[in-house]
Amino acid sequence: MKIKFCAAVMLAMMALALTVVDAQVNASLTDKDRAEIEQLSVTYRRALFGCKAAEYADLFATPGGYFGSSSRGEVREREALMEMVLSYDRCYSAPAAAADAPRATAPLPTPEIEPAPEGAKARIINSRGGGYYDDVYVRTPKGWRFKSRNVVSDEELAARLTTQDFIEIRQLAGDDHGHYESLYGDHDNISPRGLIAGPDHRPFRTSGLRLTPTAEGVRGSAFLRNNGGRYEDLYVKTPGGWRIKERTYIPPAKIK
């Protein structure tokens, strides 16, 4: 009898837990919530194209909020978010040229903001080719903020790559464990700071693993923390998920 009672209690608790989770996922968003979330993207665009680094970084939840892309990595720290904004070439041109973002000739599809376990989510089309931002929003004491904003380019979309693919590749490569250095330099010659003599004021390029989609799969480049060497990887998608097809270690002596 006692066993039956305990089993009934456990089933009731599981049902209650499922109800709570379902309520969180299906919780409604008010018009005010949606307006504030939509305003995030407006402010994001102004801060990014206007080189307003602190304003940009303030749009992400702390701790844990991040911007992600194949070339930029997962940029999480406030200082790194600010450095990323200021690394764009437009931030070194005349202020008048950097003040306004380029405008589309016709409106893009209106995003649908949906409730999510974290708060809210949306896919925001940002180009004519269908490239998009994959957003997750969270409510903070300062209002709605990005928990994550991942970008998928037109080319990545055409290759059928998704945000989840890049997340899985980073986990596979160990990028989510802090093993890799952030990278600085020009567009084609990047490396961690501290590998060249004297002050190093090169602009920020990538946080950790840098990914490049190719016809073979996805190429990855990552400099090992406190090592100076790097991995050059090739990742391929298999029926069992993403796997490392090639991994080449290049020691510091061969890095130019």
- List the domain boundaries for the chain: 30-153, 159-256
For residue 145, pLDDT beyond 60: yes
Q: What is the pTM of this model?
A: 0.81
For residue 24, pLDDT beyond 60: no
Note the pLDDT tens digit of each residue in 122-135: 999 999 999 999 99
Q: What is the mean pLDDT of the chain?
A: 86
Per-residue pLDDT, 18:
44
Query: Does domain 30-153 fall into CATH 3.10.450.50?
Result: yes
Two tokens, residue 151: 């970008």
For residue 77, pLDDT beyond 80: yes
